[in-house]
Amino acid sequence: MKEVKWNDRFNLGVPVVDRAHQRLFSIVGKLIALNEDPDKQQHACREGIKYFKSYTIKHFKEEEAYMQSVHYGGYEIHKKLHDNMRDKTLPALEDELEAQDYSVEAVRHFLGICVGWLTGHVMIEDHAIAGRTVNKWIHRPADDELASLEKAIVQEMQDLFRANAKIVSSNYSGEDFSAAAKLCYRLTYRTEEKRRIQVFLVYEEWLALRTLAAMLGRPIDKADKTVLYAIKVLSQQLLDRIKMHFHFDSSFQLERNDLLTFDQLLRAFEKEYPPYSLLFNTGGKGYFAFCVKMQ
């Protein structure tokens, strides 16, 4: 994983917030170095991650108090992002760390998500507090809608992929969650009213390879054209099955199914994050993101 360093462009001009952000970047930078040191990796990362979590939660409280003191209009959405990180993402990552005994790969997952989340959150959502940017979580669905979608995805990932999916985040914003390659697909649908709906599926490459290997009963060690096409077809089948949970009629038609690079995926998130944007762990097989944009 790349080195993480503080940059003055992260500053908001609010000392209590800026000091906390600098501290968080420092902790993550040390954890990245420790995870590459076989003599210190397990014990040091275990203790360092506990400290990162406690300091993060302390910082959230301080930042929320500051937002309230300046009557920040985006407080409710911002607090939900903090709550999701505290109540879903960090506990899910901790569960993986414990299950895998703080393996190098589990720590990389933890750091990949935390680095991506921290960088994006500071540069966009936190800077919006100071009026320097506009927040990108513009349209947020109701909690029960997200819960229904999560339930449908978990069931269909189990039935189709034989993967035990567990939610990591309800606010996936394009974090580079793994050092492994990602397979990204965009499925574009049109409704009878000519409304366009884009669904983005992001698979950690290991998940794709392990899924197909289990289906075929033989090992697969690289994502060649056959693998890419097979996952493309499986993605469409997955969407067809998820649609059945929400009683979409036949007017909801697939228009395109495109393979994207990860950079192309991020460009699709430049102006606004998808309102439905979920990240899952699949029980050690790999990570998987499911995002929906509507136009």
- The pLDDT, as a whole number, for residue 61 is 96
Give pTM, 2 decimals. Answer: 0.91
Contacts 24+ apart (CB under 8 A), 246-249: 246/148, 246/152
CA atoms within 13 A on the CB side of 262: 16
Residue 103 has pLDDT above 90, yes or no: no
DSSP H/E element including 19: helix 15-35
Q: In DSSP terms, which residues pair with 197 in a beta bridge?
A: 189, 294
| Beta carbons of 271 and 210 less than 8 angstroms apart | no
Residue 3 has pLDDT above 70, yes or no: no
Residue 177 has pLDDT above 90, yes or no: no
- The pLDDT, as a whole number, for residue 294 is 86
For residue range 82-95, list pLDDT tens digits in order: 999 999 999 999 99
Task: Kindly list the structural domains of the chain, giving each domain's residue range(s) and its CATH number in brackets, ordered by start.
Answer: 8-129 (1.20.120.50), 143-294 (3.40.1550.10)
Contacts 24+ apart (CB under 8 A), 40-48: 41/102, 41/104, 41/107, 42/101, 42/102, 45/102, 45/107, 46/97, 46/102
